[in-house]
Amino acid sequence: MALIEKLELEEILISSPAIDAEAESRVRAICAARARRGAAAVPRNQVNSGRFRVGVDGRAFSSPAGGVRRYVREIYGALPSVAPDVDVIAIGAVPSDTLPPGVTPYPARDFPTNLGWMAASIPLAARGAHLDVFHAPAYTAPLWGGIRRRSRFTT
């Protein structure tokens, strides 16, 4: 993806968690331009050419911080309309939570502290879920890389 397209896509998805029709149209235009050039609209898994798998800290979907909770619900609720071939895996989501369409829960060992969550739960669950990238929206990123080679963590 050309740098300008990547930055535009990130700007649309990050600056406006509630994707409006104009923003969605811009994202679709970027994806269509990539398709005309023969490039994939969404980056493919570099390890096995499968679907791109995005992991997210599933606890954010039930976060007591309303802003974090709204952010993840909006961004991952809108993702299927702009990138239908991306799998979203909610690591450690609370079973009673209603997740946005297209988001799949994945179990993680529950530790009573954020340190335990960052040191063991996220890395082990991320490795088991075979993720390409992990999004930590609430400042609790893994302390060590538990996902496959060439994968990325982002906060």
- Model confidence pLDDT, tens digit, residues 64-117: 878 888 999 999 999 988 888 899 999 988 888 889 998 999 998 888 887 877
Section 21-26 average pLDDT: 70
Q: Which two tokens stand for residue 48?
A: 């096995």
More confident residue, 83 or 151: 83
Instruction: Decide if pLDDT at 45 tops 50.
Output: no
CA separation, residue 23 to residues 14, 15, 30 (Å):
11, 10, 11
Quick one: what percent of the chain has pLDDT higher than 70?
A: 66
Instruction: Decide if pLDDT at 2 tops 70.
Output: no
Instruction: Decide if pLDDT at 150 tops 60.
Output: no
User: Quick one: pLDDT at residue 23?
Assistant: 64
Instruction: Decide if pLDDT at 17 tops 80.
Output: no
Rounded distance, CA 102 to CA 86, Å? 9
More confident residue, 51 or 149: 51
Section 15-32 average pLDDT: 64
Residue 55 Rama label (left phi>0; alpha psi -120 to 50; beta):
beta
Mean pLDDT check: name the lowest of 16-25, 49-58, 105-114: 16-25
- Sign of the CA dihedral with 31 first, then 32, 37, and 40 last: positive
Q: What are phi and psi for residue 13, nearest 5 degrees?
A: -75, -30
User: Quick one: pLDDT at residue 148?
Assistant: 53
Rounded distance, CA 41 to CA 37, Å? 10
Rounded distance, CA 24 to CA 82, Å? 7
